[in-house]
Amino acid sequence: MRSFVAYVVDRDKDGGLIHGLVERPLSDLGSEGVLIQVQFSSLNYKDALVSRGNPALVKTWPHVPGIDAAGVVVGEEDAGPVLVTGFGLGVEAWGGFGNYVRVPRTWVLPVPEGLTVSETMVLGTAGLTAALAIHALLECGIDPRKGEVLVTGATGGVGSIAIMLLSQLGFRVVAWTRKTAEEPYLLALGAARVLSAEGEGEDVKRALRTPRWQAAVDTVGGVVLAHVLKEIVYGGAVAACGMAGGTELDSSVFPFILRGVRLLGIDSVQCPLPRRKEMWRRLAGELRPRDFALLHRSLTRSELDPVIDAMLQGRHARRALVRVADAL
């Protein structure tokens, strides 16, 4: 029987969490949908949660994380490379940290012209999310002449890509980070300046603060999102896409009813196909990042564990491209 190697999370006989590379029969993937031989995946915050058995995400054991995958459909290699991000990949279905995934055909997109297979995974869910956030803000009328745009969780995957894309569009971007040692990286991405997150978000009592940002891309949530909402200028907008710093939102209505601030929810997972295709077309075209090498580090699956732990502790920076087809 054919087999494949996957980074598997499982429970041992005492209920403890185990994780690592395991050989599994291909039949574990079932028989429904298309079989994709995975060349590249990526590590997202959600993958880090899944890889450590987050009970809200992992419902059955064993499980293979990896919400992003790119490669070729087995038997359809001539049709060109494909990619899958989100939907149920790496959560309901075994994910891209295995050499193969089997998914509904409706989840599969062709790799757009203008991007290589590995570039689609440097972007991955983070790139799609950053593009959706920026698209939503542009629809609200943000304009480089109207002032600075804030990006929180700046050194993370979504944050890094959002900074590069916004700066390419001519915006003056301010990077909000807890890792001030990464200032050279953030400036190289295109940030105009870097703001230390230390101490920010702690002044929870004031309903509004001095308006500073025409808009923001928030990847952190919690007290940071509540703080950012208080500093958006009249008529501005915040694209909320993350929860790395918390899922609660303790905000008054004042930013909304006194300054007309708009809070835009961003979801990449169930994003409908037409919008998804449009975002990938833009990421391969006018939004194509100018420097993929700067945006990421690359690793094999046997190098995943320390990077997963660093990500969950908020110590990781940049995108992590996972070379699934490479020797382990």
Ligand X SMILES: NC(=O)c1ccc[n+]([C@@H]2O[C@H](COP(=O)([O-])OP(=O)(O)OC[C@H]3O[C@@H](n4cnc5c(N)ncnc54)[C@H](OP(=O)(O)O)[C@@H]3O)[C@@H](O)[C@H]2O)c1
Q: Check binding of 51 to ligand X (CB under 6 A).
A: no
Which of 65, 127, 156, 289 touches ligand X (CB under 6 A)? 156
Who's near 167: CB < 8 A, 6+ residues apart?
173, 189, 190, 191, 192
Who's near 49: CB < 8 A, 6+ residues apart?
57, 312
The angle subtended at Cα 54 by Cα 101 and Cα 91, nearest 5°, is 25
Q: DSSP character for 144? A: G
Site string for ligand X, 167-186 (x = CB under 6 A): ----------xxx-------
Point out which span in 38-46, 55-63, 165-173, 250-258 binds ligand X (CB under 6 A): 38-46
Please report, as a single letter, which amino acid is at residue 14: D
Q: Check binding of 126 to ligand X (CB under 6 A).
A: yes
User: Which residues does residue 298 pair with via DSSP β-bridges, in sequence order?
Assistant: 321
Q: Check binding of 53 to ligand X (CB under 6 A).
A: no
Please report, as a single letter, which amino acid is at residue 226: A
* Residue 39 near residue 81, CB atoms below 8 Å: yes
Which of 197, 283, 287, 307 touches ligand X (CB under 6 A)? 197
Site string for ligand X, 245-264 (x = CB under 6 A): x-------------------
Q: Check binding of 269 to ligand X (CB under 6 A).
A: yes
Please report, as a single letter, which amino acid is at residue 220: V
- By C-beta, is 29 or 132 nearer to ligand X? 132
- By C-beta, is 3 or 54 nearer to ligand X? 54
CA-nearest of 218, 222, 199, 219 to 261 is 218
- By C-beta, is 194 or 232 nearer to ligand X? 194
Within residues 60-119, the interface with ligand X by CB under 6 A covers none
Point out which span in 20-28, 225-233, 267-275, 301-309 binds ligand X (CB under 6 A): 267-275
Residue nearest to ligand X (CB): 156
The minimum distance between CB 242 and ligand X, in angstroms, equals 3
CA-nearest of 292, 270, 317 to 67 is 270
Q: Check binding of 122 to ligand X (CB under 6 A).
A: no
Mapped onto helix, strand or coil, the DSSP state of residue 232 is strand
Q: Which bin fits 30, alpha (ψ -120 to 50), beta or left (φ > 0)?
A: left
Count how many Cα atoms sit within 13 Å of the Cα of residue 298 in the half-sphere of its side chain: 16
Point out which span in 52-60, 97-105, 124-132, 142-150 binds ligand X (CB under 6 A): 124-132
Structure tokens belonging to residue 24 = 């599994």
The crossing angle, in degrees rounded to 10, of helices 157-168 and 117-139 is 70
Within residues 273-292, the interface with ligand X by CB under 6 A covers none
Q: Check binding of 267 to ligand X (CB under 6 A).
A: yes
- By C-beta, is 72 or 243 nearer to ligand X? 243
Q: Applying CB under 6 A, which residues contact ligand X? A: 44-46, 125-126, 129, 153-159, 177-179, 197, 219-220, 224, 241-245, 266-269, 311, 314, 316-317
